[in-house]
């Protein structure tokens, strides 16, 4: 597949996943819905591994990679599905948009990366302001329970922490092998979570919209989307890949309003604009001339 097609596919998947989560858990218990999603992805990944004869290593370092990936999937997905009971899909996408900034903070502590520059500190403060505005809007104007927003924020924290921990594991493994290994580790965890939290299927309540949304998330969101993302990472510059975090929230909000009648308020749009601006500054702010001190410009001119 051409890398341009993979890039567009990643944007499509990330834009539609929040709405898919909301729909899939409308009539299916959320813990069972996410278990079904992971089970579908695991079976399909196993078939691909078998047909393509892809080697899946099981040494200690590989298992550590699978476990770190599984913990991110478990925390990120389970909390997102619980949040989707009350939080609109567009808001879920927006809050997930701050993941690069949280990852940067965690990387300083766990990977020893350089401290944030003044530009990135400003972007962090701006993102927190936008996040506060969005949460305040949802709680006050739309009368949403704060616990749902807390679930989303914790899901982003789990996702970001997992990504940083994965970087600590220095091992070269085929993306499909990583996907299969992570799914093999995490699917039993979801089964345990379903049994402890709910333990029911409520088959009589299922509607086809929820069923097809779960299938879509299992096949497209959890399997093909992951592979396309790794393809993009291998072929395109990191700055180009980072643009997806600026593009997907807008699409997710529009899809939620169009297909799910989600309310869009002025405060929500303002908060969304602030978060997207903060992400743009975080990723590309230091490349702007007005952030470069004069003496550095003079040296570069010489």
Q: For position 75, what pLDDT does the model report?
A: 93
Measured between alpha carbons, how far is 290 from 294 in angstroms, rounded to an integer?
9
Tell me: pLDDT of 238 over 90.
no
Average pLDDT over residues 160-173: 85
**Does residue 151 surpass a pLDDT of 50?**
yes
Answer left, alpha or beta for residue 275, where phi above 0 means left and psi between -120 and 50 means alpha: alpha
pTM of the model: 0.84
Tens-digit pLDDT profile for residues 253-266: 889 999 998 888 88
The average pLDDT across 73-92 equals: 91
Measured CA to CA, the distance from residue 86 to residue 94 in angstroms comes to: 15
Closest C-alpha among 148, 16, 161 to residue 90: 16
pLDDT at 126 over 80: yes
pLDDT score, position 234: 61
Assess whether pLDDT exceeds 50 at residue 301.
no
Asked if the model's pLDDT at residue 233 lies above 80, the reply is: no
Residue 185: band (very low, low, confident or very high) from pLDDT cuts 50, 70, 90: very high
Helix (H) or strand (E) holding 143: none
Radius of gyration of the chain (CA): 20
Contact 93, 252 (CB under 8 A): yes
Arithmetic mean of pLDDT over the chain:
85
The closest of 95, 194, 197 to 151, measured between CA atoms, is: 95
Take residue 136 and report the two structure tokens written for it.
């305040």
Distance CA 245, CA 97 (A): 6
In whole angstroms, give the CA distance from residue 38 to residue 186: 8
Predicted confidence (pLDDT) per residue in 19-65, tens digit: 999 999 999 999 999 999 999 999 999 999 999 999 999 999 999 98
Mean pLDDT of the 225-230 span: 76
Structure tokens given for 119? 């530009």
DSSP string, 162-187: HHHHHHT------HHHHHHHHHHHHH
Compute φ and ψ for 201, nearest 5 degrees.
Answer: -105, -30
What integer pLDDT is reported at residue 300 of this predicted model? 45
Q: Judge whether residue 116 has pLDDT over 70.
A: yes
């Amino acid at each position: 597949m051409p890398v341009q097609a993979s890039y567009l596919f990643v944007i499509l998947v990330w834009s539609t996943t929040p709405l898919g989560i909301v729909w899939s858990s409308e009539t299916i218990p959320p813990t069972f819905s996410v278990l079904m999603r992971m089970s579908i992805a695991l079976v399909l990944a196993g078939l691909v591994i078998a047909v393509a004869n892809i080697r899946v290593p099981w040494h200690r370092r590989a298992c550590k990679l699978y476990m770190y990936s599984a913990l991110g999937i478990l925390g990120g997905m389970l909390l997102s599905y619980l949040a989707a009971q009350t939080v609109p899909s567009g808001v879920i996408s927006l809050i997930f948009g701050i993941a690069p900034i949280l990852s940067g903070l965690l990387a300083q502590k766990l990977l020893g990366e350089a401290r944030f520059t003044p530009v990135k500190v400003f972007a962090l403060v701006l993102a927190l302001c936008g996040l506060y505005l969005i949460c305040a809007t949802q709680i006050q104007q739309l009368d949403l329970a704060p616990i749902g927003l807390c679930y989303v924020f914790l899901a982003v924290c789990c996702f970001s922490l997992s990504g940083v921990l994965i970087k600590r594991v220095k091992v070269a493994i085929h993306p499909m092998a990583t996907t299969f290994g992570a799914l093999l580790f995490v699917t039993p965890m979801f089964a345990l979570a379903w049994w402890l939290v709910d333990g029911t299927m409520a088959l009589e309540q299922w509607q086809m919209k929820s069923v097809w949304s779960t299938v879509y998330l299992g096949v497209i969101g959890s399997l093909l989307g992951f592979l396309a993302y790794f393809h993009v990472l291998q072929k395109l510059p990191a700055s180009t890949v980072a643009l997806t975090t600026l593009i997907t929230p807008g699409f997710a909000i529009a899809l939620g309003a169009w297909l799910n009648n989600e309310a869009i308020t002025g405060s929500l749009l303002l908060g969304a604009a602030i978060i997207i601006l903060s992400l743009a500054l975080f990723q590309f702010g230091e490349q702007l001339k007005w952030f470069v001190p004069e003496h550095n410009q003079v040296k570069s001119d010489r």
